[in-house]
Structures are given as C-alpha cells and as structure tokens.
Chain A
Amino acid sequence: MRQALMRGLGAAVAAASLPLAMAQTEDPVAADFDKFRAIMEEANPAELFDAKGEQLWKTPGGPKKASLEKCDLGLGPGVVKGAYAQMPRYFADVDRVMDAEARIVHCMITLQGFKYEDLAKKPFSSATATPDPVSITTYVAANSAGMKFAPPQSHPKEKAAYAAGKEVFFYRAGAFDFSCASCHGVDGQRIRTQPLPNFTKPEQAIRAVQGWPGYRMTGGVMHTLQWRLNDCYRQQRFPEPGYTSEMLSALLTYLTVNAQGQEYKGPGIKR
C-alpha cells in the first residue's frame, strides 16, 4: 500500500514536476513526519543552546576577557535582532562576505582573543560537547525568528559571492562525480526515504536554510549550517571544506539569496 503510494507519487512528480510541498502532502509518511516535527518544535531542545549562547554572548570570556556585545553582525555593534536573516553579507573590515557563524568566529578572535586554529580544531557538536560558536550561532539565529531572509546583494563582493557560490553548487568532481546539484538540483526526488528539495527553485531553496541551526535527533546534538555543509561534502565524496571559509560563505550566499523574502522560523529540529 505504502509502496504503491510512493511509486505513484514518484510518477506524478516526474510527470508534472509538482512543487515539493504539494508532493509531500501526498505522501502520508512524510506528512506524519511533518506533523510530529511541528509538535516537537513547540518545545525544542535548541532553546537550551540558545540560552547558553546568550550567556556566552553577554559574559566576558576568552583571553581578552571581553564579551561579544561589541560584535558587529552587519547591523551595527551589538545588534543581534534580525542580523541572522540578513547574512551572509559583506564586511568591510575583513573585505569579504561572511555568513553568521564565520562572523561570530571572527568576533571571538578579534574581540575575545581566541585563535582560529583552536576554534577550528573541533568545530562541531558531539554527544558530550557543544562548541561555543554553535551555541552563539543558535542564539543569534533565534533573534531572527519570524523575519524574512534578506541577505544584501548591493555590494559587488556580495554579488560575486552569489555567482561563485552558484558555480560551487554545480561543480561536479570527486570519486562519485557529484555536485550539490546531484541531489538538490531536481524536483521531487528522494535519497532513500529523505525528500530532496531543489535548491535552485526559490520556493524550495528555503529548505536549505530553514530549521538551521537545528537540534538533530540523531545523537541529540545541536548543529549549524557549517556542519550541514561539511557533512554534505563528506557524502559528496569531496575533500573537507574549511570551517567558516569564504568558499562556504559563498555557497551559503547562493542558497540564502535563493530563499530571499521567505520567513525564517528560527532554530529547528532535524532528523
């Protein structure tokens, strides 16, 4: 029964290339997943990391014993509200485009005296430890909940980042000849049981950035988009991308600009 439905769904999607949202309501299993995920988001453990991140933002720390309250996330020093939804953006002080976590790490280095090498050594959450930039990014992201994604595209470097990010997205290489588009460039496909949104289409591109940072049920850990892209490249059979690198900021610029104008719901729950 379920199989027949799924096969029917596959055929329908292939034939008409329906938008994913519509395809999902036709799949009772996916609809059930969505329903219970919504229930779980009403009390999301991500809030614990948001609270921790707020404390880390406001409390003096690092070798320089400074807080991050002078950190400029693009809307002026210390302005957190709405900043996440308006990144990646160009920052004149570093003359490059930065995504939220890249900027937070930059502030931890310049304001608090941390070393990039130390922060990049183990940048992702494990069962036993959540790196500070992850909690801080969750806090910053939570302060854009309910706002529309509006990453600026006025500076030439912001436009260049979008264009380069698009090239990166479609670049096929590696042991399996994959690009990001191999999984995320076509409508209505699944990898195993997971629906694959088409990030090249505005109405689906939101799914690249929605729900991140996310509390991942697997392992019960908090992850940001930096982790998500890192793990994509692992599964793409590529070498490893540098943590908070300009290349990832460019890719995030491409993905976020594609989702422009759509509402960010704040930190989410992921599988």
Chain B
Amino acid sequence: MQQTRRSVIKAGGALGLLALAGTALLKPGRAHAAWNQSAFEAKSAIDAMKALGMGNAEESKDIVIRAPDIAENGAVVPIDVTSNIPGTTSISVFIEKNPFPYTGTFDFAAGSVPFVHLRAKMGETSPVRVVVAAGGKHYTTAKEVKVTIGGCGG
C-alpha cells in the first residue's frame, strides 16, 4: 500500500490526481478538493497560486502576519495569520524562497475565527506570503523573515 501510494505520487499526472481525489472523498466535510499536488510541487509561489486558482489575488491590509523579523532557527519559524476580511473561508501560506513554496491551506467552517498558528521550515531569508479566500475572491500580503546561520560552528 505504502509503496503503491508513493509511486502514484511520484508518477503524478492524471492517474495520481484521481487516486488522491479518491482518498479525499473519504473525508467528510472537506471544504475544498484533494491535496493539490501540482500546487505543492510548484517551484514558485506564483505558479502554486495559479494552480490553486489564486493567481489574481489582490493586496490587502486586512491580513495580519505575525512572524519574527529574524528567525532564531530556520528549522522552526512560528507564523500566526489572522484575517480581518469578512467571510474568510481559507488562509494559504507560501514561503517564496523555499524549494516548494506552497506550505499549506487552512480551511475554516463558516462563522469561525480565521486564525491559524503554524511553524514552518525556512531554508533562507524569504517573504512569507499569505493568500486569503473570502466571498469567492482572493487577497494577499507578505512579510519578510530573515534566516541567519548564527551560532558557533563547533
């Protein structure tokens, strides 16, 4: 089973997406479609956003990203996102300079508080981009997080 699943993921393409869509059907109440392989495998944030149908997101000041200006350790960068846009249904996070920028999408039930705290790996200094879906439209903002080597080499 594991082997099959992995080779399906590696193979990608229509068959892989079908298989993933199949597993997604087992999950009750998912707000959106299957784990979006083409978005997760995109090498740039904009390609990932396009794959998610968020390519035309407009800048917004109503999204608040709280993350350190300088990360103490790139292996664990704490990121809080709050959306003040009414009717927010999801928050997506992209770490632009990571090899695969798309980090995840967080879906909220209608009427809940659009907030998420996550901790991500960052390979280097990069903007952390957030896209919010609300009322069928997409909004975006970004915050730069510096990643230094630091520490003693010993």
Contacts and interface: CB of A to CB of B under 8 A. Distances in A.
Do chains A and B directly touch (beta carbons under 8 Å) in the complex? yes
A36 B78 contact: yes
A36 B68 contact: yes
Contacts of B75: 217-220
Interface of A: 29, 32-33, 35-37, 39-40, 43, 191-194, 217-220, 234-235, 271
Contacts of A33: 68, 70, 72
Which size bracket describes the interface of B in this complex? 10 to 19
Given A39-B78, A40-B76, A217-B76, A192 B70 contact: no
Pairs A-B, 6 closest by C-beta atoms? A217-B73, A235-B154, A217-B76, A193-B150, A33-B72, A192-B152
Contact of B72 (A217, A219, A220, A235): A217
A271 B152 contact: no
A261 to B, nearest CB: 29
A126 to B, nearest CB: 15
Contact of B119 (A40, A193, A234, A235): A40
A40 B119 CA distance: 9
B69 A32 contact: yes
A43 B152 CA distance: 27
A194 B151 contact: yes
Contacts of B70: 29, 32-33
B148 A193 contact: yes
Contacts of A40: 76, 78, 119
A271 B119 contact: no
Given A192-B150, A192-B151, A193-B150, A271 B73 contact: yes
Contacts, number: 44
Interface in B42-63: none
B69 A271 contact: no
Contacts of B153: 192
Given A40-B78, A40-B119, A271 B72 contact: yes
A271 B68 contact: no
A110 B105 CA distance: 51
B115 to A, nearest CB: 14
A194 B78 contact: no
Contacts of B148: 193
B144 to A, nearest CB: 14
7 contacts: A32-B70, A43-B117, A192-B153, A193-B150, A217-B73, A220-B75, A234-B154
Given A32-B68, A39-B78, A194 B73 contact: no
B84 to A, nearest CB: 20
A191 B78 CA distance: 25
A43 B119 CA distance: 11
A32 B70 CA distance: 8
Residue among B76, B117, B153 with most chain A CB within 10 A: B76
Given A36-B78, A40-B78, A194 B150 contact: yes
A36 B66 CA distance: 10
Nearest to B67: A36
Contacts of A193: 148, 150-151
A235 B119 CA distance: 30
Given A32-B70, A36-B68, A40-B119, A220 B151 contact: no
B25 to A, nearest CB: 31
